[in-house]
Structure 1
Amino acid sequence: MKHKGRRQFLGNLSTLAIAGGTLPLLTAATNRPKETTAPFSFLCPPYLQNSTENSVHILFITNNNAHSWIEYGETDLDLKAESYLDGFVQANNTLNSIQLNNLKPGTNYKYRIISREIVKFDPYDLVYGETITSDTFEFNTVDSNANSVSCLILNDIHDRPYSFSDLLSLNKDTNYDFVALNGDMFDYQTDEQQLIDHLIAPCTSLFASEKPFIMIRGNHETRGKFARNIKDYFQFPEQEYYFSFKQGPVHWIVLDSGEDKEDDTPVYGDIVNFDDFREQQAKWLDVELQKSEYSNCKYKVVLMHIPPFHSGDWHGTTHCRQVFNPVFKKYNIDMVISGHTHRYGVHPPNDDHPYPVIIGGGPKTGSRTLIQFHADQNNLEVKMIRDDGEMVGQYKL
């Protein structure tokens, strides 16, 4: 199915009469009261998060408080998803994150989102307004028995939304299972509209309504007055910025490398504690890499924004090296893929790191890169393509 751009998506909305039934969900960013005379609408198409063999989260945003749900199914849209909390069906919110559960592994599903505007919410007097429905999209659940996995990795977009289409166009028709956004998608976070305009809308226009993406926090995602709210707009296992999962022959490890300067740097205003956060992750990782469910994975691959080597001697790099590198060595990590430096490079194993360190490029034209990743039972290969189409790095296990 071809993906539809945000403008076309909003233009194709239709109304739907719904009788009875209430069924939505919202995330921790609950009611954001809206005072608008604009027609009731979706602010962005839906986007997929935290996809597994049996479930997926679908997120979307409306411009007014509403009651929202999802209709889905393998062939017909005959199933309905909603969310409950403390006896309530979630409603009167704008930001929605609805989880589809009990799905079949390796199966194609169709879905659409539906929202019913709430125009009055007084005690014993609930009044609905217009109901809108999206186009129909498709997605595939993770295949638990897949022998291979492919993904695309982007980093350091830095509030340049046009870079998503520029870089993804380099992929041509090569298939992929998901996209990893490996940090610094923004310079800093100001508000919800920035997230929509600079990340969600460009990604949904290209792929994100039908293929999931992983949001990996970089040091610039820790900055700005809205930085503490961005987790509400994405979904992670256990709702932590660090996690691991199995897909294909790969045990994927996602780490949050935190800020790049000391915690007591004056610009942070005494309200960060990333040293402890990195140490907490290192302890978690030492346990995570021992779990039996990953023992049959052929490869262990780390995604983290700040590389532990080849990134100068700033505190973020040296502390990542101090806390993570011993764990990487202990469990024979096969590869680390990072960004941050704005200098693309492929660094083979050496005496300091017995694993390759792959670093994607920067935000400026001429240094931007797309990383293509593919792994099967025979090989693991990464290819780095610069924004002019030239391959500037390759590594194969």
Structure 2
Amino acid sequence: MNKDKRNQSKNKQLKSRRGFIGNLSKVAVIGASLPMTQIMAKPTIQSENGVETSADSFGFSTAPYIQNLMENSVDIVFITNSKAHSWVEYGSEDLDLKAEDNLDGFIQANNHLNTIRLEDLTPGTTYKYRVASREIVKFDPYDLVFGDTIMGDVHTFRTSKDMNSVSCLILNDIHDRPYSFADLLSLNKGFQYDFVALNGDMFDYQTDEQQLIDHLIAPCTDIFASEKPFLMVRGNHETRGKFARNIKDYFAYPDSEYYFSFKQGPVHWVVLDSGEDKTDADKEYGGIVSFDAFREKQAIWLENEFQKKDYQGCKYRVVLMHIPPFHSGDWHGTLHCRKLFHPLFERYNVDMVISGHTHRYGVHPPSDAHTYPVIIGGGPKTGNRTLIQFKADEEQLNVKMIRDDGLVVGEYSVD
């Protein structure tokens, strides 16, 4: 039996054991090594009368995961297994602050998917937090009945600061192989990182919420995502399946768009959604996609973004996009990305494009076709998967690509 099949069998067994009735009690991983054990723990339940019990039914479907960690704010996302009123308790020393999701005069409730923003944070500060929910068992006019209250484990995060360096890990093309997260992150070996970028095609297609939990959210919170943020970059396979139109709800995007930019360290980061690799008219899409227009909209946005004064002081410009504009054959998605985005990359002096998609890892230096390097991560099969370590400071930008057997298969620096 090859390693892929053994890992798939192992993952099926792990999936059957994973209950997520409560939150995860785990050792936090800060860049270096993975936990040797994972301890499943039921959350503490406090009923309305103050009596603590154990959770038999109402619980968390996921541990919390961090999105959009900035200098002054962060989004905490988590899922309960039934409808509830939820909040986050947090503080730099004690859990003496409370945040809820407020909209139009309502405190959001009677939902199971929660995105709660913590604001007015202090840059460069470590905070403790835990999530909490109380079940709603009846929600009739003038008759609101709460059930049990559950509390998650305490986690920590550190707000970013206007530093002169930034580092991250980049994964791509996992393709519904959740064991690959642990395999690849175990290669990290002490490299300290600020965030993880999931650069597209984490799935083959989207079926339902449980797939998102089992194949992405749970593996990531097992390892890092309750204390380190990740970016979910949409690949062409995230556009497929009956649940594809729902997945944006599970990840916090600036301005609720799959494309965005931000500054961290000396880098102006640009995240693009490269869309599908086939034409909109392809029979597989049944006439219900419009990715050409979506990419054209992004090109207009991108030029405006490159011109913003907010980013003029950045030393580097780095683009994350799933489909690379070069070295990806002559499929429609590649050619359309090249037509729309490549002239802007050249005009505004992009320093690096980091992609996936081809399943062939490679470091492609500047050439007559493009004056910027194109870094392409590999995957998804064992023996072809890669972890990319990225670090930039005022002196140098460096990427190192590590294959899943530990061999360094590519490296590139910009001085």
TM-score range for the pair, normalised by the shorter chain length:
over 0.9
- Letter of the structure 2 residue corresponding to residue 182 of structure 1: N
The count of corresponding residues between Structure 1 and Structure 2 is 379
* Match 1:264 to one of 260, 273, 281: 281
Matched, 1:294 2:311: yes
Partner residue in 1 for 2:15: none
Percent of counterpart pairs with the same letter? 71
Consecutive unaligned residues of structure 2, counting only runs of 5 or more, are 1-25, 30-34
* Contact 1:300-1:335 within 8 A present in 2 as well: yes
Partner residue in 2 for 1:73: 91
Partner residue in 2 for 1:25: none
* Contact 1:9-1:134 within 8 A present in 2 as well: no
Q: TM-score, normalised by structure 2?
A: 0.89
* Match 2:44 to one of 14, 22, 27: 14
Q: Distance in 2 between matches of 1:390 and 1:136?
A: 36
Q: Distance in 2 between matches of 1:138 and 1:317?
A: 40
Matched, 1:325 2:350: no
Residues 240-292 of structure 1 show CA distances to partners (whole Å, capped at 9, x for unaligned) of: 00000000000000000000000000000000010111111111110100111
Please list, as runs of the form range in 1=range in 2, the aligned pairs for 1:333-344 lying within 5 A after superposition.
333-344=350-361
Matched, 1:91 2:109: yes
- Letter of the structure 2 residue corresponding to residue 364 of structure 1: K
| 1:174 Cα offset (Å) | 1.2
* Match 2:129 to one of 90, 111, 118: 111
Q: Distance in 1 between matches of 2:148 and 2:317?
A: 49
Residues 191-246 of structure 1 show CA distances to partners (whole Å, capped at 9, x for unaligned) of: 00000000000000000000000000000000000000000000011010000000
Matched, 1:368 2:398: no
Residues 310-338 of structure 1 show CA distances to partners (whole Å, capped at 9, x for unaligned) of: 00000000000000000000000000000
Partner residue in 2 for 1:131: 149
* Contact 2:48-2:147 within 8 A present in 1 as well: no
User: SS of 1:318's equivalent?
Assistant: helix
* Match 1:235 to one of 217, 236, 252: 252
* Match 1:178 to one of 175, 183, 195: 195
Residues 119-152 of structure 1 show CA distances to partners (whole Å, capped at 9, x for unaligned) of: 11111111111111011000011112x1100000
* Contact 1:10-1:41 within 8 A present in 2 as well: no
Residues 41-87 of structure 1 show CA distances to partners (whole Å, capped at 9, x for unaligned) of: 10010000111111110000000100100000000000000121222
| 1:2 Cα offset (Å) | 2.5
| 1:12 Cα offset (Å) | 4.2
* Match 1:140 to one of 153, 158, 163: 158
* Contact 2:48-2:148 within 8 A present in 1 as well: no
* Match 1:311 to one of 325, 328, 347: 328
User: SS of 1:121's equivalent?
Assistant: strand
Consecutive unaligned residues of structure 1, counting only runs of 5 or more, are 21-36
Please list, as runs of the form range in 1=range in 2, the aligned pairs for 1:275-294 lying within 5 A after superposition.
275-294=292-311
| 1:3 Cα offset (Å) | 2.8
- Letter of the structure 1 residue corresponding to residue 273 of structure 2: D
User: SS of 2:62's equivalent?
Assistant: strand
Q: Distance in 2 between matches of 1:117 and 1:60?
A: 14
- Letter of the structure 2 residue corresponding to residue 212 of structure 1: P
CA RMSD of aligned residues (A): 1.6
Q: Distance in 1 between matches of 2:216 and 2:56?
A: 23
The runs of 4+ residues in structure 1 deviating greater than 3 Å are 7-10, 16-20
Q: Distance in 2 between matches of 1:9 and 1:200?
A: 17
| 1:18 Cα offset (Å) | 6.5
| 1:38 Cα offset (Å) | 5.6
Q: Distance in 2 between matches of 1:358 and 1:262?
A: 25
Q: TM-score, normalised by structure 1?
A: 0.93
* Contact 2:47-2:147 within 8 A present in 1 as well: no
Partner residue in 1 for 2:229: 212
Partner residue in 1 for 2:28: 3
Q: Distance in 1 between matches of 2:280 and 2:368?
A: 30
* Contact 2:86-2:134 within 8 A present in 1 as well: yes
Partner residue in 2 for 1:157: 174
- Letter of the structure 2 residue corresponding to residue 172 of structure 1: K
